[in-house]
Amino acid sequence: MNLRSIPFSAWIGIAGIAIAIFCALFAPMIAPFGERDVVGDVWLPPGGDFLLGTDNLGRDLLSRLIYGARTTIFVALAATVLSFSLGMLLSFTAAVVGGFTDQLFSRFNDLMMAIPTLIFALVVLAVLPQHLWILILVMAVLDSTRVFRIGRAVALDVAVMEFVEAARLRGEGSLWIIFREILPNTLSPLLAEFGLRFAFSILFLSTLSFLGLGIQPPAADWGGMVKDNKDGIIFGISAALVPGAAIATLAICVNLVVDWLMKRTSSLKGGRGDA
Amino acid sequence: MMESGPLTGPVPTDGSADGTHPRPAELSGVPAKPNPGTANPSNGDIDGTFWRRFTFRRPLVALILQRLGLSVGLLFAVSLMISGGIEALPGDFATTYLGQSATPQAVENIRKDLGLDKPWSERYLSWLGGAVQGDFGTSWASKNSVGEQISKRLGNSLFLAFFAALVSVPLAVGLGMLAVQFRNRLPDKIINVVSLAAISLPEFFVGYLLIMFFAVQYGVATFPATVYDSMTLTERLSAIALPVATLVLVVLAHMMRMTRAAILNVMSSAYVETAELKGLSMFRIIARHAAPNAVAPVINVIALNLAYLVVGVVVVEVVFVYPGMGQYMVDAVTVRDMPVVQACGLIFAAFYIFLNMAADILAIIANPRLRHPR
Amino acid sequence: MPEMLSVKNLKIEATSYPPGEPPKVVTLVEGVSFTVQKGKVLGLIGESGAGKSTIGLSALAYGRGGVRITGGEVLLDGKDILTLDKNGIRSIRGARVCYVAQSAAAAFNPAHRLGDQVIEASLRHGIMSREEAKKRALYLFRVLGLPNPETFGERYPHQVSGGQLQRAMTAMALCPNPELIVFDEPTTALDVTTQIDVLAAIKHAIEETHTAALYITHDLAVVAQISDDIMVLRHGKTVEYGSTKQIIEAPREDYTRALVSVRQTKRDEAADQTGAQLKIEHISAGYANGFKVLHDVSMHLPKGQTLAIVGESGSGKSTLARVITGLLPPSEGRITFEGKELPPALKGRSNDELRRIQMIYQMADTAMNPRQTVREIVGRPLSFYFGLHGQKKTERVNELLDQIEMGTRFLDRYPAELSGGQKQRVAIARALAAKPELILCDEPTSALDPLVAEGILNLLLKLQEETAVSYVFITHDIAIVRAIADSVAVMHRGRLVRFGPKSKVLSPPFDDYTDLLLKSVPEMEIGWLERVLKTRRMESAGN
């Protein structure tokens, strides 16, 4: 891969993601105040000591934004990695083994996808106790249905190729076929898909937090910060818009990179439509 | 040269051309959709040769019937999953319901009160039986009839979604066509970048941004978007202006990008090249050769995005404090009011399944191969 | 004779966008000049990538996706159409110059009736009234031998067969009474027995309507039947240009000579055809949806010999190969190899049983993992079956590369860095690496250009002499059968029509299908088409 072949838009995306990850990793060092420290009056305007002002309890918005990057990115990334591993494992198994296994997995996946993700999450989170790992797990399982669909399509595309048949005829086992024959040929579309799922996870987590079902206070996360400060909106206080903008920016950055990855691969199946 | 007389040569015996040649592709004549045989493998065996013959002679009707059957089955399975899944997951409502003050005796009483002591299958059947007639039981939290609440709020939600669709569909299709017209030129690139950004915006961010500008700064719109029974239509419309705008912005980008892709796909086909090589005008190529084939995928795109709209309503209603289904459900989830959650979940899923089915069926109807079988 | 089309010093370029590099301008065609007179046919012939189609489309001032005509003149009836504006070009396309595409199935709009599409250009250009156009379409349907010409136009494209569509496309091109028609490989996608009918129909229609035509194909034998002059192209440049008679009977250039005489490999069949290394007995097979593809097929193959299985698409020949490999277990019958019955399914076979039967595919591109180097591709069977590694493995890979006449410098190349012929050679090396006793060859040369294919066939014959490997050779090409087979099996619609030693199968008396098949293969001989149409007994089916 040639560095100069990366378009400008993708560079913007990469830079944005890098900044967010930097904030997440070194939050305690760069944040001017603590995550949960009440340092001033409620909803102070931006400027002075508080670059972005303070929130509904008088905590520094910038500091919470930096700490929030940590939670948001960690949870979204964990959910994406998990959903990806799960979806890939099941979809590749379905595509390679075929027959009854494929039918079983695929039909169950259809069933899961017949319920909109957000509605499904609402129903499930209404029942389950509120723990971080449960949240990650629910997000991962729900999202893995989409990974499954795309993974199966991509794997089937490759699995019908004659070199896979040749490997079968040689007597190779399923593991060799998956890891040595199919996987190397699907990396590029799957990488794009990973980015897409990550962007979706960020939005989904933020939505859940905004609805009060995601990350629980007092931990800072971007969706939750919007919820905390939403009442200020009617008074013309823009504190809720700052974390909202952060979510949007990060998602845009990820999508810019994905867009570039997608253009490099033409074989990717499925759209970016999601619900 | 004329005595070679190819006229006597190539005239085929017509019968051999059609009937006797088995064409397995016939049955799976819908290219974009999975083979109906694989989608519902048991069908052929149960209905035997009659169904097969029917599929062969009236593929359109057969496929539509199949989609309908599939959707009903899917809805049934979803109801089973919502109800059974809740049962299987850990977490006891009674304990949660009582919170800190849960003594074993109180828990027992509550369980009996809510009917949780009966076996699950019995509860499921009575719940499903009621749900079919629109009776979803009583709310645990408010002790009101869930069905009554829903009938009020569902109307509100549909009102919102309907106007959002009314604005977004023509706009999205128009912009999609514009992008195709100016493919790879400046307008297309601008539309591409803007829509890429738009699909990355969370609904609540768009919502609050609009509130900030139009309700707070300029005061031209109302917030919160409450509606009452006594409101006139114009009052209602002005109340939902901002929520509709939010929904439109959220769904527009998706729909437009997919429309663009669908039209581009048709425009790069060999038959459009044929039309071009016939020396037809651009207008005629688009109107007569591209449009009939682009209708199906575009309708599909619209239906899929309307399904998305139904879900998008949830967040938008919370942002704008709009008395619809979404808000009802979110409130119920926070207090773990299971009858309400179940009912709302089922209704949302039903709409989603129905719209997806509509997309499938419209695509089937628009396919000339199925409309005019051999 | 007036010159209908005169192309002078044509230059065509395209911009390609290789990933990760700045855009590049590629010259597709350079310095090509020719003329076509009224009522005459010029054949453009060449391998894939020779620029034939690009030149053909230039007669309509059209370039596909980024292709631009950057130099020269295209004179239609004396006027350069390249200098015309948009509307001027439009008034020529579909009115004075028409185009027949390779895949009529894709070129017809699925949403409209065939009749409407056939007359559309005539109406839109105001050449004739609807009534006149309909009458002409009916006339053309008759001339082209389409079934039920009165109602044929009512049908939709998907309701008629491929051969009929190709003729309907010809009718569509002829309808506005154009001065020139460009035929772009109109019979390439068709089966050989269908091709001959379409070819005859096109020839008849051209004669009837006195139009001039450009006929583009890669098959010299086909173009010899239909054209008056031939231009041989290679890499976008003219190799030779002359009358059909001169090109076929007295080619001047080496390349043309090679094309004309390409099918010259000949081998006599083995005298002793007793014994059976591979025995196929009463095999029937079908797919899960109940569609039966093979009906009671039996044949056998002695050790060290070649069995050619011939048939058109849909004959079941590839399915038979899948049955032999175990990919598709048969519903009835059994296969015996070296005196032992083979387990029907792939999963039941031991690695040694798998090793002894290897396979070579038609498309070497898809038969090799694009992410593996030649070393890995050829080396894997060595380590898998024989446990070879390190130095020993490398030595053996080198040996194999020598055997397929490729040097060790290809060791670390990826398939994408090889030519079509080289890829097929590597695929052969991979099969050889397993030290097989039988190699199934599924049309290994049909995707290759004729000269390259010839090299592959010679290599296969040489390897058979060296290693005494047996071949089951699946093909639709009778010439290849003549060249390399010991015994031949002819298949038609899933049934075995004829089986035996080559000399018996390919000489009379014939059954009807074999007669049709043999007579449908174009021969490099002027006047073959007329001769064969008079003598054959059976109409091709399903065209």
Percent of all residues in chain B with a pLDDT value above 90, rounded to a whole number: 7
Chain C residues in contact with B296 (beta carbon < 8 A): none
Chains interfacing with C (3 or more CB pairs < 8 Å): A, B
Distance from CA of B307 to the nearest CA of C (A): 28
pLDDT in tens, C508-536: 888 888 888 888 888 878 888 888 877 76
* Per-residue confidence (pLDDT) for residue C287, from 0 to 100: 76
Question: Taking a C-beta distance cutoff of 8 angstroms, is the pair C371, A184 a contact?
Answer: yes
| Helix ranges (DSSP H) in C144-226 | 149-152, 162-174, 192-209, 220-226
For range A242-256, the mean pLDDT = 91
Q: Between chains, do C111 and B292 touch, taking CB under 8 Å as contact?
A: yes
pLDDT in tens, C38-53: 889 999 998 877 888 8
* Per-residue confidence (pLDDT) for residue C469, from 0 to 100: 93
Nearest CA in chain A to C433: A170
Between β-strands C438-442 and C278-286, what pairing exists: parallel, antiparallel or unpaired? unpaired
Chain C residues in contact with A168 (beta carbon < 8 A): 327, 346
Query: pLDDT at residue C496 above 60?
Result: yes
pLDDT category of residue B132 using cuts at 50, 70 and 90: confident
Which of C19, C363, C370 lies closest to A185 in CB terms? C370
pLDDT category of residue C360 using cuts at 50, 70 and 90: very high
Mean pLDDT of chain B: 76
For range C447-468, the mean pLDDT = 87
pLDDT category of residue B94 using cuts at 50, 70 and 90: low
Chain A residues in contact with C361 (beta carbon < 8 A): 162, 166
Question: Taking a C-beta distance cutoff of 8 angstroms, is the pair C82, C108 a contact?
Answer: no
Nearest CA in chain B to A198: B200
Percent of all residues in chain C with a pLDDT value above 70, rounded to a whole number: 96
Query: pLDDT at residue C448 above 50?
Result: yes
* Per-residue confidence (pLDDT) for residue A59, from 0 to 100: 84
Q: CB neighbours (10 Å) of residue A77?
A: 16
pLDDT category of residue C17 using cuts at 50, 70 and 90: low
pLDDT in tens, B7-37: 333 333 333 333 333 333 333 333 333 333 3
Chain A residues in contact with B338 (beta carbon < 8 A): 126-127
Question: Which 3-state string (H, E, C) describes C478-524?
Answer: HHHHHHHCCEEEEEECCEEEEEEEHHHHCCCCCCHHHHHHHHHCCCC
pLDDT in tens, B177-219: 888 878 777 888 888 888 888 888 888 899 998 888 888 888 7
Q: Between chains, do B352 and A124 touch, taking CB under 8 Å as contact?
A: no
**Rounded Cα gap, residues C91 and A52, in angstroms:** 66
Q: Between chains, do B279 and C125 touch, taking CB under 8 Å as contact?
A: yes
**Rounded Cα gap, residues C157 and C478, in angstroms:** 31
Question: Taking a C-beta distance cutoff of 8 angstroms, is the pair A224, A46 a contact?
Answer: no
With an 8 Å Cβ cutoff, is B333 touching chain A? yes
With an 8 Å Cβ cutoff, is A99 touching chain C? no
Question: Taking a C-beta distance cutoff of 8 angstroms, is the pair C341, C335 a contact?
Answer: yes
Query: pLDDT at residue C470 above 90?
Result: yes
- Using alpha carbons, list the distances in angstroms from residue C132 to C123, C127, C128, C411: 9, 9, 6, 66
Between β-strands C3-16 and C67-76, what pairing exists: parallel, antiparallel or unpaired? antiparallel
Maximum alpha-carbon separation in chain B = 106
pLDDT category of residue A248 using cuts at 50, 70 and 90: very high
Task: Please list, in sequence order, all residues whose beta carbon lies within 8 angstroms of the beta carbon of residue C116, skipping any fewer than 6 positions away.
Answer: C153
Maximum alpha-carbon separation in chain A = 73
For range C301-311, the mean pLDDT = 91
* Per-residue confidence (pLDDT) for residue C537, from 0 to 100: 60
Which of B90, B193, B352 lies closest to A116 in CB terms? B352
Q: Token pair of A125, please?
A: 């989170």
**Rounded Cα gap, residues C501 and C523, in angstroms:** 23
Does the global pTM surpass 0.80?
no
C7: alpha, beta or left? (left if phi > 0; alpha if psi -120 to 50): beta
With an 8 Å Cβ cutoff, is B178 touching chain A? no
Distance from CA of C369 to the nearest CA of A (A): 6
Q: Between chains, do C21 and A185 touch, taking CB under 8 Å as contact?
A: no
Chain A residues in contact with C21 (beta carbon < 8 A): 2, 5
Task: Please list, in sequence order, all residues whose beta carbon lies within 8 angstroms of the beta carbon of residue B172, skipping any fewer than 6 positions away.
Answer: B251, B252, B255, B256, B259, B302, B305
Chain B residues in contact with A274 (beta carbon < 8 A): 308
* Per-residue confidence (pLDDT) for residue B32, from 0 to 100: 34
Q: Between chains, do B17 and C164 touch, taking CB under 8 Å as contact?
A: yes
With an 8 Å Cβ cutoff, is B256 touching chain A? no
Q: Between chains, do B16 and C124 touch, taking CB under 8 Å as contact?
A: no
Percent of all residues in chain A with a pLDDT value above 70, rounded to a whole number: 94
Interface of B with C in 273-292 (CB under 8 A): 273-281, 284, 288-289, 292
* Per-residue confidence (pLDDT) for residue B24, from 0 to 100: 34
Q: Token pair of B262, please?
A: 């669908």
* Per-residue confidence (pLDDT) for residue C116, from 0 to 100: 93
Chain C residues in contact with B27 (beta carbon < 8 A): 289
For range A85-92, the mean pLDDT = 90
pLDDT in tens, A128-174: 877 889 899 999 999 999 899 888 888 888 888 889 989 989 999 88
Query: pLDDT at residue A273 above 60?
Result: no
Distance from CA of C305 to the nearest CA of A (A): 22
Question: Taking a C-beta distance cutoff of 8 angstroms, is the pair C164, B11 a contact?
Answer: no
Interface of A with C in 182-211 (CB under 8 A): 184-185
pLDDT category of residue C262 using cuts at 50, 70 and 90: low
Chain A residues in contact with C363 (beta carbon < 8 A): 162
Q: Between chains, do C106 and B271 touch, taking CB under 8 Å as contact?
A: yes
Nearest CA in chain C to A177: C369
Hey, of A122, A242, A263, which one would you mutate to test binding to chain B, going by the most B CBs within 10 A of its CB?
A: A122
Query: pLDDT at residue A272 above 60?
Result: no
For range B136-160, the mean pLDDT = 84
* Per-residue confidence (pLDDT) for residue B43, from 0 to 100: 40
Query: pLDDT at residue B147 above 60?
Result: yes
Cis peptide bond N-terminal to C330, omega within 30: no
With an 8 Å Cβ cutoff, is B54 touching chain A? no
Q: Between chains, do B212 and A245 touch, taking CB under 8 Å as contact?
A: no
* Per-residue confidence (pLDDT) for residue C499, from 0 to 100: 92
Q: Token pair of C274, please?
A: 């007793």
Hey, of B192, B208, B216, B306, which one would you mutate to test binding to chain A, going by the most A CBs within 10 A of its CB?
A: B208
Question: Taking a C-beta distance cutoff of 8 angstroms, is the pair C276, C476 a contact?
Answer: no
Which of C107, C111, C147 lies closest to B14 in CB terms? C147
Chain A residues in contact with C355 (beta carbon < 8 A): 171
* Per-residue confidence (pLDDT) for residue B10, from 0 to 100: 32
For range C275-301, the mean pLDDT = 85
Q: Token pair of B350, please?
A: 């039903």
Chain A residues in contact with C380 (beta carbon < 8 A): 170
Q: Between chains, do A165 and C327 touch, taking CB under 8 Å as contact?
A: yes
**Rounded Cα gap, residues C184 and C161, in angstroms:** 19
Chain B residues in contact with C198 (beta carbon < 8 A): 10
Q: Between chains, do C366 and A2 touch, taking CB under 8 Å as contact?
A: no
B-C C-beta contacts closer than 8 Å: 139
Which of B211, B212, B333 lies closest to A213 in CB terms? B333
Distance from CA of A266 to the nearest CA of C (A): 12
Q: Between chains, do B205 and A226 touch, taking CB under 8 Å as contact?
A: yes
pLDDT in tens, C380-398: 999 999 998 889 999 999 9
Least confident of C123-127, C142-146, C449-453: C449-453
* Per-residue confidence (pLDDT) for residue C7, from 0 to 100: 92
Query: pLDDT at residue B358 above 70?
Result: yes
Q: Between chains, do C159 and B372 touch, taking CB under 8 Å as contact?
A: yes
Interface of A with C in 248-267 (CB under 8 A): 264
Chain A residues in contact with B93 (beta carbon < 8 A): 127
Answer with the residue of higher pLDDT: A208 or A46.
A208
Q: Between chains, do B257 and A272 touch, taking CB under 8 Å as contact?
A: yes
* Per-residue confidence (pLDDT) for residue A85, from 0 to 100: 92
For range C80-108, the mean pLDDT = 90
Q: Between chains, do A274 and B77 touch, taking CB under 8 Å as contact?
A: no
Which of B6, B22, B24 lies closest to C145 in CB terms? B6
pLDDT category of residue C9 using cuts at 50, 70 and 90: very high
- Single out the residue of A131, A130, A257, A133 nearest to residue A197, CA to CA: A257
pLDDT in tens, C178-237: 999 999 988 887 888 888 888 888 888 888 888 899 999 988 888 889 999 999 998 889
Distance from CA of C437 to the nearest CA of A (A): 14
**Rounded Cα gap, residues B9 and C538, in angstroms:** 10
Q: Between chains, do C110 and B368 touch, taking CB under 8 Å as contact?
A: yes
For range A88-101, the mean pLDDT = 86
Which of C325, C326, C366 lies closest to A163 in CB terms? C366
**Rounded Cα gap, residues B254 and A263, in angstroms:** 17
Mean pLDDT of chain A: 84
Hey, of C318, C369, C438, which one would you mutate to test binding to chain A, going by the most A CBs within 10 A of its CB?
A: C369
